[in-house]
Amino acid sequence: MAAEQDFTKRKLWGGRFTGSTDPLMHEFNQSLKYDKRMYAADVKGSIAFSKALLKAGIVTAEEQAELTRGLKLVEQEWAENKFVIQADDEDIHTANERRLSEIIGKDIGGKLHTGRSRNDQVATDMRIWLMDETAAAEENLKNLLSVMVSRAENEMDPILPGYTHLQRAQPVRWSHFLLSHASAFTTDLNRLREMVPRISVLPLGSAALAGNPYGLDRELLREELGFQSIGENSMHAVADRDFVVEWLQWASLMMIHMSRLAEDLIIYSSAEFGFVTLSDAYSTGSSIMPQKKNPDSCELLRGKSGRVFGQMAGFMMSLKGIPSTYNKDLQEDKEPLFDAVDTVSAALRIAEGVIATLTVNSDKMAAALSMDLLATDVADYLVRKGVPFRETHHISGRSVALAEAKQCQISDLSMAEWKDLSEHFTEDIADVFNFETSVEKRNAIGGPARAMIQRQVDIARQRIAGKQ
């Protein structure tokens, strides 16, 4: 019994309890196996907190220096993979405080938790950790966008069919297609940046839920830890996980955009299209069919979008029924967030590699172009002759039907046949049947003309740099 009591009393909350913890319950409750990745954030928060304790007169200058020295040694042990985890280390906070007291002694180490709860401590650690990971995600997303934009600028010549409903619609430039996906990722970049102020809200100093009674200087804590603002309500501060939900929602939408890009590349790299060829570095073969080259990188990008969305939906269900302030349900925030952050990090870097190394098959793109893609240009031709668009649309449709009936391209129709369709057709109808001319006429903002592609490139680079 004495051993059981000793085991329980070693826990931060152990003084209240006289019985031992069921070993299964201890394992069920323990989060160190995954929250240990926040060790640096926990040490950073603790060092800042020791400075607030010094200002409040809770510790002396010598004790604060010793706390800092010990915490840095704890961080070094984690960094060098030398930290020895004990059986009763529940989480990263318990483990770090236990080891700190072993290094500098309980008389000083035991003062660190004065006016602090694991409730505000874990919320602070997660925000510190996520701010760093958000900055890393921003860099990865900027790198992907930079590759997409550079390829678009350098590869303006190729023209391919643009699709709606997966049916050939109108000719567009390859660069226009690539920038269409870059536009979605640029919006994701803006959303990511806009989240930072909502992540960067300091909970530390809120204690368990009712604030601390020592007059700790929370403005000092904010400055030390680099937060943009301070949580104004202690009850809300310890329980707020909206920043986790928002990050997961952002990641889900970004991965949906990733999935759509991946789907296009899967289709375009198939033998039936052949518009692009994926690098061997991002493809795999078949165990039974030696001719196969599978776009596994893109398939995994597409598949992992569902994984990230699932993490978001799962945590929202954990969050929805929790009563006010901190409840242990909130421990379920870490695994989905950590997994989503890891998945997003890998996905962005893989996508960058896929885009950087794929080969554009402009000849295959050109071969897929057919004159029926210029049916809208025929209608536009008549509009310029003064014919109302609704009438020109009907006339152009009749020209397509006639060509289908004759089993020829609409460009092969005779002048007499064009005249039968409308008296407004003249010999210059032949000028319509040029794909380069078609895309260059679409020179309004947002179009596929070269000047507009360059405009999109320039604006994208400004947005990547945070200037728009």
> Which active-site residues does the annotation give?
165, 286
Return d(Cα 89, Cα 65) in angstroms, integer: 25
**How many residues are recorded in the chain?**
468
Q: How far is CA 27 from each of CA 21, 45, 108, 123, 377, rounded to the nearest angstrom?
A: 10, 26, 30, 22, 69
Residue 243 contacts residue 198 (beta carbons within 8 Å): yes
| Listed residue (138, 127, 114, 273) closest to 192, CA to CA | 138
Return d(Cα 286, Cα 296) in angstroms, integer: 11
Cβ-based neighbour number of residue 441 at 10 Å = 15
Residue with tokens 């049947």: 433
Return d(Cα 434, Cα 430) in angstroms, integer: 8
- β-pairing, 276-277 vs 359-360, is antiparallel
| Listed residue (280, 314, 277, 282) closest to 301, CA to CA | 282
| Listed residue (115, 68, 110) closest to 215, CA to CA | 115
> What would the 3-class secondary structure string for 202-249 be?
ECCCCCCCCCCCCCCCHHHHHHHHCCCEECCCHHHHHHCCHHHHHHHH
Return d(Cα 435, Cα 424) in angstroms, integer: 22
Return d(Cα 68, Cα 91) in angstroms, integer: 20
Q: Which residues of 370-407 are buried (b: 16+ CB within 10 A; e: fewer)?
A: ebbbbbbbbbbbbeeeebeeeebbebbeebeebbeeee
Read off the amino acid at residue 109: G
Return d(Cα 138, Cα 145) in angstroms, integer: 10
Q: Residue 402: helix, strand or coil by DSSP? A: helix
**Beta bridge partner(s), residue 159:** 173
Q: Which two tokens stand for residue 52?
A: 């607030």
